[in-house]
Amino acid sequence: MPLEFLRAISVGPFPLELTGQAELDKLRVLAAADMVEAELPEVGKPAVAVVRRITGYGRAALAASPPHGLRRPAADRKEH
């Protein structure tokens, strides 16, 4: 999932170079959602992508969602 990928790259230094096709696909989704600033290669061509930074919107998305597999405490959840 792109949000978990965003969480994973958020802990490292920038700029960050990525080459794996699966990583590039997730990065394209994050860039389209304006969660990262990145230099992306043309689709379908092997190359390197460079993530320059996580945007404020990306940081807000990370803050709003707990890490995968974790749930907010019951007191914080609204029951329907």
> 30-69: per-residue pLDDT in tens?
999 999 999 999 887 778 999 999 999 999 999 998 776 5
Give the structural domain span for 13: 2-65
Q: How many domains does the chain have?
A: 1
- pLDDT above 90 coverage of the chain, percent: 64
Residue 23 domain-assigned (yes or no): yes
pLDDT over 80 at 17, yes or no: yes
Residue 79 domain-assigned (yes or no): no
For residues 66, 29, 39, 44, the Cα torsion angle rounded to the nearest 10 degrees is 140
Band of residue 76 on the pLDDT scale cut at 50, 70, 90: very low
